[in-house]
Structure 1
Amino acid sequence: MSTSDRTTMTSSTAPRHPAARSDIDPYTIDNLLDRTQLQHDIREKAPLVYLERYGVYATGRYETIREVFADWPHYQVGAGVGLANFHTEKPWRPPATPTETDPPEHDAPRRVLTDVLGMRALRRLREQWIAEAEEVVDRILAGPAEIDGMADLAAAFPLKVFPDAVGLPPENRNNLLAYGDLVFNAFGPQNENFQRGAARLSELSQWVTMLCQRENLSPDGFGARIWDASDRGELTVDQAPLVVRSLLSAGIDTTVHGIAAIVHAFATHPDEWERLRSEPQLARRAFDEAVRWASPLQFVFHTTSEAVELEGIELGQHTKVMLLVGAGNRDPRRWEDPDDFTLTRDPSGHLGFGMGLHQCVGQHVARLEAEALLTVLAAKVRRIELAGTPLRGVNNTLQTWKELPVRLTT
């Protein structure tokens, strides 16, 4: 059912058919380590599935996810983009701005971020980031041929260039990964994965809050430009640090694990690596295909603003809808051979950065980071191979990597 065809439901309107029900738990260790079966089971069971364990609806269908993304008046993020429903539960931290706000509160922070992270700013950074990528890659190639692609490449490069661009001090940047892991775990249930990092909740939250204050940011970075917007009255003084924090919450872990995904993809698809080496202009397409294929962001929730019908099911007001982004990105109804990673595919339209009003405002930053690193690797590395068994991390929301042993041949 298209957005234009949707009819807002009243309490007296009967659904066309009852929802499919399932006792599947998306948050078991097995499902978090490998989401392939979960994606298939929910996507193929029905367009919309009621998860009895959590009392939420879920969809893994591309078109249904896209419909929810597109219809922000009916499916909103102000009640949280995780399992917790802020209509009935108190969030553990102030909601992210603009990630967990709807219009009109969403609009000013979004405009400021769109300007701060716009193409003019990124054009200035491109040459600098390619030079930084050359330093990282040259340092790696001067050492052993076998490296940890996660720590040495996927984490090392973004943790240098992005915090520099925001204007953060150089100390303790690995804490940004720990903080991001905690944030994305908190979007799920308060299970053992959340509890694992919760011991550092107060410490990391206070540290990030301190980082976002004007006096702790360099005067020429993204963070300072956000504070400048508050001077012009485009943001309030209270909003400014929350907008800076949104960069740190959403802009690091997803990029790190997206780059890890592309390293893993090329290590397991040597023909595609050869294709990129011969056509380095495909670097951005390669990253988008990896985001589609591996989907670092696996789950995101929206909440109904009023009673509404979705896929013939009446959803009451303030009902949580779980969007299985990774499942939609491999939906055979949308993609031919969806389980294949290939640079011959046009991956545009994938769901990895969201769509519509709330699509990722920093997606071009992530693409530029990946493009810079891939461009340098393609020029200097003849072959990428697995040097051992990769180890997945466990996170309630993200598909993560713990170790990614690879061998680089120059």
Structure 2
Amino acid sequence: MSTSGFTPSAGVPHMDIDPFSIEFFEDPHPAHEVLREAGPVVWFDKWNVYGVARHAEVHAVLNDPLTFCSSRGVGLSDFAKEKAWRPQSIILEADPPEHARTRAVLSRVLSPTVMKQLRGSFVAAAESRVEALLAKGSFDAIADLAEAYPLSVFPDALGLKPEGRENLLPYASLVFNSFGPPNKLRQDAIERSAPHQAYVADQCQRENLAPGGFGACIHARADAGDITAAEAPLLVRSLLSAGLDTTVNGIGAAVYCLARFPDQWARLRSDPTLARNAFEEAVRFESPVQTFFRTTTRDVEISGSRIGEGEKILMFLAAANRDPRRWDRPDEYDVTRKTSGHVGYGSGIHMCVGQLVARLEGEAVLSALAKRVSAIEITGPPTRRFNNTLRGLESLPVSIKAA
């Protein structure tokens, strides 16, 4: 919360929008436009925080980690003033120079070379999943594809035991809900979290991770002296927190887009090498990760507005990803769009460290669909899954036909 007696600097527009309400989550795009057009910086009366929704300002905040820090929490809670609900992340909630050391370990464990080694098995799993769904004909694109596929490849790549994996999605959902205010979504998630937290804490320990997986490789970096033995389980936990939900929502978003925009589906089918770009454009268009916070470390000016030290800044990644100042036809899904510059994975030193895994999974699924499926039809009303940070579907009934 703000320290400045809850009065924003002069000239900053006051917003009576609650960006953490169910009404907002149901359809955020009209409110995003209001926020972008109100000015480069806005103030939310309900939560006493600043917000930025235009691409230029979001990008600037993300790329100045010394002024806009993560160590005081990337949610509404300010760790300088209140205790975190769990030990804080040594990568997501860390600043330079400490952040560089832990980031280097994860970057090595999730490197392009490692992705090349995984590609064959990830692609084969996507193809067999699509074949099985073609045999069914009708299914839920979220439960049976967007969730089922990542759950079939990512925990194995990490080296998790088969038992208990049903805790992974609820745990990730809890982490992202916790970045919001103390609303019902956050309270309910934390109240239900004990078994999920216990499972994850257990899985991060060296003895529970299979040799050769991401988890074991992280622990090996402790042997090499790059991180301490106490830090290794916390880095494994980071992958369990952020490695699944975001990809699930990204794949769900891509299938939802391709089912709604048949011209784009036809374009992808005619050129399956567009699969990776079609996934990337879905991440821009739907923004599975909608928001993140930073905290100012000093008095700073953003686009003419003076902001004091210790203020929370809410960045609307999703609004930036559809900012007409940055994109032509921002509200259109286009599988051929040049998507570089979108902030769906963040930007700067904290840019999503698992983005290569997400892109590999997204590409594998969309490529398998493009090669084997002639039509995707939505057969019932989609339902949303509400979360303080993530945007995704709970259910998307579809039917598909073989090519």
TM-score, normalised on structure 2? Answer: 0.96
Superposition pairs of residues 5-404 of structure 1, within 5 angstroms: 18-143=11-136, 145-404=137-396
State percent identity of aligned pairs.
47
The answer on whether the counterparts of 1:331 and 1:338 sit within 8 Å (CA) in structure 2 is yes
User: C-alpha distance in 1, partners of 2:106/2:69?
Assistant: 20
What CA distance in whole angstroms lies between the structure 1 residues aligned with 2:163 and 2:358? Answer: 22
- Other structure's SS at 1:393 match: strand
**Residues 298-307 or 166-175, more deviating:** 166-175
CA distance in 2, matches of 1:202, 1:16: 41
- Aligned to 2:391, the other structure's residue is in SS state coil
Show CA shifts across 1:353-400 (max 9, x none): 111111111111100001111111111100111111100011011002
Letter in 2 for 1:282: L
Is 2:178–2:190's contact at 8 Å kept on the other side of the alignment?
no
Which secondary structure state, in structure 2, belongs to the residue aligned with residue 106 of structure 1?
helix
Cα distance in 2 for partners of 1:172, 1:75 equals 37
- How far off its partner does 1:106 sit? 0.8
What's 2:400 paired with? 408
How large is the Cα RMSD of the aligned pairs?
1.3
By how many angstroms is 1:171 displaced?
Answer: 2.0
SS of aligned partner of 2:215: helix
C-alpha contact (below 8 Å) 1:17/1:312 kept by paired residues = no
SS in structure 1 of the partner of residue 227 of structure 2: coil
Is the 8 Å Cα contact of residues 33 and 393 (structure 1) preserved in structure 2?
no
- Partner secondary structure for residue 334 of structure 1: coil
Shift of the alpha carbon at 1:307? 1.2
Q: Counterparts of 1:171 and 1:271 in 2: how far apart (Å)? A: 42
Structure 1 residue runs of 5 or longer lacking an equivalent are 1-10
Partners of 1:56 and 1:200 in 2: CA distance? 28
3-state SS, counterpart of residue 360 of structure 1: coil
| Stretch of structure 1 that moved more, 171-180 or 379-388 | 171-180
- Per the TM alignment, residue 17 of structure 1 is displaced from its structure 2 partner at its CA by 5.2
Contact preservation (8 Å) 2:164, 2:199: no
The C-alpha deviation readout for 1:95-143, integer Å capped at 9, x for no partner, is 1121110112211110000111001000000011111112211111122
**Partners of 1:47 and 1:311 within 8 A in 2:** yes
> Over residues 213-245 of structure 1, what are the superposed CA-to-partner deviations in whole Å (9 max), with x where a residue is unaligned?
001100110000000000111001111011000
- After TM superposition, give the deviation of residue 16 of structure 1 in Å: 9.2
Asked whether the equivalents of residues 278 and 336 of structure 2 are also in contact (C-alpha less than 8 Å), the reply is no
CA distance in 1, matches of 2:160, 2:26: 32
Quote the Cα distance in structure 2 between the aligned partners of 1:320 and 1:198: 22
Unmatched runs of 5 consecutive residues or more in structure 2: none
